[in-house]
Amino acid sequence: MTTFEICAASYYCNKLGFEPLAYRGLETGSRDVVSHVVKQGKIIYVFSSALNPGNKEMGEHLVKHGDGVKDVAFTVQDCDFLVQKAREQGAVIVKEPHVLEDKFGKVKLAVLQTYGDTTHTLVEREGYTGLFLPGFHTPLFRDPLLDQLPSGKLEFIDHVVGNQPDDEMVPVVEWYRRNLLFHRFWSVDDKQLQTEFSALRSIVVANYEETVKMPINEPAIGKRKSQIQEYVEYYGSAGVQHIAMNTSNIIEAIRNLKERGMEFMSVPETYYQQLREKLKHSKVKISEDMNILEELKILVDYDDNGYLLQIFTKPVQDRPTVFLEVIQRHNHQVSSDMSKPLSFSLKTSQIKCGFGAGNFKSLFEAIEVDQDARGNLTVLTPNGTTEEI
């Protein structure tokens, strides 16, 4: 759930191919908060804002962070059990387990505090058959122009990345290990992920079944300010940096999304020249036309077992904070439980080669071009502060 409102919901429908799914507001009896729910494939986003002046919780969050991801929710089988285990480990329970009910059934919810001001809602559906959650009705309006636009081809959430201030990544990883019984799935350090100017460290945590994956990043000292540090400064704390959405046809998806007016980061032509040379010595054969991948500026990462294709949007709000990723994975087993609804679940591919680590340098360099345009690719001083170039 986020601190956007109807304009953001319309943006995701118009630019990214989402469809209105559900609505909660004054017309449905909600007097304090309005929420617009959009869906594409198994991906569901909720855009919420305050209805009345003086909403302290939403107002303070918006002033501090700007538009951003407030909550990442998980579908669970036993909400009470997870909350009790988290409580025993010292987790902050923002909302105790409680039941919402309407004519379509019951849903049990609880909310835990994670990094920064971000929360996790645990959702136990108990056979609920409604559109979304109790209290939500059909949308009041659907833009008829949406039917004339090409499909976004986005299918499910692949992973959600959280940025942390320096030296706070490991404590956050431990939070997931203790409170949600996650484990370390993959990691990379600043010796592997660096450009001429900046670097990062990253650890991916996953649940027991490895159907939910949460990369946790932190900046590392470089010559200039990292884009991770830029995010933390403009967001005001740790928070969700980007959401990756999986597609089975990234070429068609990106062509369609660009036709809809979506903006993506770009990489120089030298990236594809170097990639072609490296692939000559690899066991992996890319089935897509490399000329088309270059035309669309889609990145390629690979190991001996398979490869992934990915591309990143520019920030989807004025602050240089949250952006989105489109990703396609090849030759890796997808979770076998994809038949279940993904309304709040984060189902991901079972891929061990990583999260585009080979592309982080190219991604960082692309972001650094935008950072420089914003005046934020500043020089780091010996004490870790920044100064203008």
Cα 222 from chain centre: 25
Tokens 């909403």 belong to which residue? 55
Give Cβ neighbours of residue 278 (< 8 Å, ≥ 6 apart). none
pLDDT at 360: 54
What's the pTM value of the predicted model, to 2 decimals?
A: 0.86
- The answer to whether residues 264 and 324 touch, using CB atoms and an 8 Å cutoff, is no
Q: What residues does 308 pair with on adjacent strands?
A: 301, 329
Q: What is the pLDDT of residue 231?
A: 94
Cα(192)–Cα(188) distance, integer angstroms: 6
**How far apart are the C-alpha atoms of 206 and 210, rounded to whole Å?**
5
Cα 83 to chain center, whole Å? 24
Provide Rg for the chain, Cα atoms.
21
Neighbours of 259 (CB within 10 A): 10
pLDDT value, residue 343: 34
Neighbours of 208 (CB within 10 A): 10
Q: How far apart are CA 287 and CA 298, in angstroms?
A: 14
CA separation (Å) from 203 to 19, 109, 110, 383?
33, 28, 26, 25
- CB proximity list for 353: less than 8 A, separation 6 or greater: 301, 302, 303, 305, 306, 308, 332
Show binding-site residues.
159, 242, 325
Query: CATH number of the domain at 6-138, please?
Result: 3.10.180.10
**Fold classification of 156-379 (topology level):** 2,3-Dihydroxybiphenyl 1,2-Dioxygenase; domain 1 (3.10.180)
Which residues are CB-contacts of 184 (< 8 A; sequence separation ≥ 6)?
173, 177, 203, 204, 205
Find out whether 162 and 172 touch, Cβ atoms under 8 Å.
yes
What whole-number distance in Å separates Cα of residue 27 and Cα of residue 50? 15
Residues of the chain with CATH 3.10.180.10: 6-138, 156-379
Reduce the DSSP state of residue 305 to 3 states and report it: coil
E strands, the chain, where? Answer: 19-24, 33-40, 43-50, 74-75, 93-102, 105-113, 119-124, 156-163, 183-188, 199-206, 213-220, 239-246, 299-302, 307-312, 323-330, 379-380, 386-387
pLDDT for residue 342:
32
In the prediction, which pLDDT does 363 show?
56
Count the alpha carbons within 13 Å of 262 in the hemisphere toward its beta carbon: 30
Instruction: Return the sign of the alpha-carbon dihedral for residues 116, 217, 2, 374.
Output: positive
Pairing relationship of beta strands 105-113 and 199-206 according to DSSP bridges:
unpaired
Binding residues for Fe cation: 159, 242, 325
- pLDDT of amino acid 6: 76
* Three-state secondary structure of 63-114: HHHCCCECECCEECCCHHHHHHHHHHCCCCEEEEEEEEEECCEEEEEEEEEC
For the chain (length 389 residues), average pLDDT per consecutive 10?
A: 68 97 96 96 96 94 96 96 97 98 97 98 95 96 94 97 96 97 82 54 93 92 76 97 97 98 90 90 92 96 89 94 96 40 31 48 61 68 51
From residue 329, give the alpha-carbon distance in Å to each of 18, 23, 251, 337: 21, 33, 13, 17
Q: DSSP label at 335?
A: P
> Rounded distance, CA 373 to CA 367, Å?
10
- Provide CB contacts within 8 A for 110, sequence distance 6+: 79, 82, 83, 93, 95, 96, 97, 98, 121, 122
